[in-house]
Structure 1
């Protein structure tokens, strides 16, 4: 890990290196047990800061994607406060810049699809976290194989499951726009159309399409589209893209939708954007489109 951080720091301009703890496949209970107990919190906080310093990381990211209830959210507020306090003390004690703290979170500030909704501690995140990373994707997928869908659309007139709602919910919950970093996917979701002649967003489907469990990386999507002579459609109403070839249907982001989403993020005064994950791009196509849009070059 030391070589990784040294390589990033050697870039011109220098890049910041973050160590993320957790992830989509991390079980929720260990996080819940850690944050609900003061001794466990203290041990985790000390260990995370020690590891960050040992390997030259500039920041730490908590990627707890599935808090279970409102009690977990209350404990999360306490954790963020103690994490920041310990970070500040360590920085002053050794006379070095403090470690940046961030959190990868559900797309919206409230788990409003749960039977009993629970809400992130927006005030604590505003006070103690340097930035918040809403994961603005996976809105549609293999859990509903009856209709096609845009997995990371910016706008949805029929529901609150969209990136525009995501960002507005966090701001309303007290997190400043400049602390929000909008997540975008470098992969798409696939379906099998019931009728190849009915192929819009929301078209009837009868299962997942190509890819691994109905998921395809952007690199693979481009290759699939070329190999199959797919029709590619940019949908301006949702700011998303889809392609279809025969009964195969793929919802994803292409350079056009990425540019418009990044322009939206900039117009909203957000702190930035992130991708999951750069390794699945096609010759830096999406990354370049986003960078140019953020700089105002396109």
Structure 2
């Protein structure tokens, strides 16, 4: 049972690694994926690296530099105070003799150090670096295109995140050889998406399908070699698109042989990008035959059950399938109540206002918004409607239904995107913990 910790959550949401502990979520987690690491054009190929640079694509996806951002400050350079720290100890600062010109290493700080502290408190917890994501999947298509480029990329990722050889910051106060060793127990590849369908600036190769399989095989080979040197098995997972079109663009039966498990991003089925609706579910377990999208390819395959069945049919073992649970909702406003007065499958004026982004809201905020909560008897998805604003999201009740589905189908487990969306007492995470009998 796992969850994604967002690198940027320490800013606007003020959600730090310590909150995973104080909320009670850590007691239920078996793994955390740290989102995200990026891949850059470097040394004649493509490599994992850590830089500090505002993401140009955040405001302009057509910018030539889109997809090349990074936040090394949050990763391992920011100093957390004793009050912000998992173990109550303030991060140490480097001194003059830690300067890289002297070949010394600065102390580990930032989110990486906090994750290491969390692992010390919860020894069975595994932490993985998740590489890519919606914004940083630009170079995967090219990096995976030849054997030599795959080897270069994988080697760089292991050097950076597993061996912990972190770049020095500009002042030489953070980074150095082996500084980050022990933080990460493996790698999660979140290529969004092989074959296209992601950001407009992503490189798409006609051979993405087979190259994705080959890239994962190379990660498995090099991770096994690196693990043998330190006496541990290093984990390899992926996060994949949930729809039938995304699954068809890959070879799940083949690539799953290289993996410990597959995280299905079983959410974002509908949302504010469909600005005028009709309103629909963003993370439903089953398709509702009455949905206006039910007869479309999206309607048929963009639901949890269809995704799971698609992977099983492709040859993926049930024991390698992990279902995603969103800790946020998708919504519209200016919604017509409709004949049932509940706003479902009705036209809208625009995406609903959100605390951080239009059309999206964290569960911790949604739970306190006005409106009546409904649960669809077929789709097994909840929504809230106040007469004009409609939010589709998972409640503890629908999360429990998903957990039971996972157990009944002998799947591996569940994970969440993202941990900072839950309440201060981890209301959703505690229900997810029932997958392990907690």
Q: TM-score, normalised by structure 2?
A: 0.62
Residue 222 of structure 2: SS of its match in structure 1? helix
Q: Which residue of 2 aligns with 1:83?
A: 219
User: Bigger radius of gyration, 1 or 2?
Assistant: 2
The answer on whether the counterparts of 1:187 and 1:280 sit within 8 Å (CA) in structure 2 is: yes
Q: Are 1:288 and 2:288 an aligned pair?
A: no
Q: Which residue of 2 aligns with 1:218?
A: 363
Q: 1:95 to 1:143 in 2, by over 3 A?
A: closer
Specify which of 236, 253, 262 is matched with residue 101 of structure 1: 236
Tell me how many residue pairs correspond in the alignment.
Answer: 285
The answer on whether the counterparts of 2:213 and 2:251 sit within 8 Å (CA) in structure 1 is: yes
Q: Which residue of 2 aligns with 1:4?
A: 114
Q: Which residue of 1 aligns with 2:249?
A: 119
How far, CA to CA, are the matches of 1:233 and 1:125 in structure 2? 39
Specify which of 171, 196, 201 is matched with residue 344 of structure 2: 201
- Could you list the runs of 5+ residues in structure 1 that have no partner in the other structure? 113-117
Matches within 5 A, 1:96-245: 96-108=231-243, 110-111=245-246, 118-144=248-274, 145-156=276-287, 157=289, 158=294, 159-196=300-337, 198-211=341-354, 212-225=357-370, 230-245=371-386
Q: Which residue of 1 aligns with 2:185?
A: 58
For the aligned residue pairs, the C-alpha RMSD in angstroms reads: 1.9
- Could you list the runs of 5+ residues in structure 2 that have no partner in the other structure? 1-75, 77-111, 165-179, 197-205, 295-299
Residue 36 of structure 1: SS of its match in structure 2? coil
The answer on whether the counterparts of 2:252 and 2:314 sit within 8 Å (CA) in structure 1 is: yes
Q: TM-score, normalised by structure 1?
A: 0.89
The answer on whether the counterparts of 1:154 and 1:164 sit within 8 Å (CA) in structure 2 is: yes
- Please state how far the C-alpha of 1:205 moved relative to its aligned partner: 2.1
Matches within 5 A, 1:15-26: 15-26=125-136
The answer on whether the counterparts of 2:194 and 2:249 sit within 8 Å (CA) in structure 1 is: no
- Please state how far the C-alpha of 1:26 moved relative to its aligned partner: 1.7
Q: Which residue of 2 aligns with 1:115?
A: none
Q: 1:289 to 1:95 in 2, by over 3 A?
A: closer
How far, CA to CA, are the matches of 1:184 and 1:83 in structure 2? 26
Specify which of 393, 409, 412 is matched with residue 271 of structure 1: 412
Comparing both structures, which one devotes a greater share of its residues to helix? 1
Residue 203 of structure 1: SS of its match in structure 2? coil
Please say which of residues 199-208 and 51-60 is displaced more in the overlay. 199-208
- Please state how far the C-alpha of 1:96 moved relative to its aligned partner: 1.2
